[in-house]
A = this chain, B = another copy of it.
């Protein structure tokens, strides 16, 4: 009767595998792109600058399998396929958008830290 306890820190816990998939730059950018609404394959590709067709297709299939995006194919020529966040996927918007925002808001601090690190003589050592 106990609800199972999930813990990402345990290597074999399914939640760890799930974290591995969502803690991924492509997943983050695709979910952010789909935040505004349904998009076609090619539209996502334009939004997420630099993603290859293969990686986009692979990532979208994984996201669909995990119930995060819903895929709708229209039987037309040329093909037309729409992708849209599910309710589950929409619950991912906030955490992933926050990550993306962090990257944009703190990048100058990161760049400064990197400069400092690269020109620092050695590691600080205490006795």
Residues in A lying within 8 Å of B, measured CB to CB: 6-11, 14-16, 18-20, 22-25, 27-29, 32-33, 47-50, 64-68, 71-75, 88, 91-92, 94-96, 98-100, 102-104, 106-107, 109-114, 116-118, 123-127
Contact = CB atoms under 8 A, between A and B. Distances in A.
Nearest to A49: B11
Task: Please report whether the interface of chain A is mostly helix, strand, loop or mixed according to DSSP.
Answer: helix
Contacts of A91: 102, 106
Contacts of A94: 98
A114 B88 CA distance: 13
Nearest to A27: B23
Nearest to A6: B104
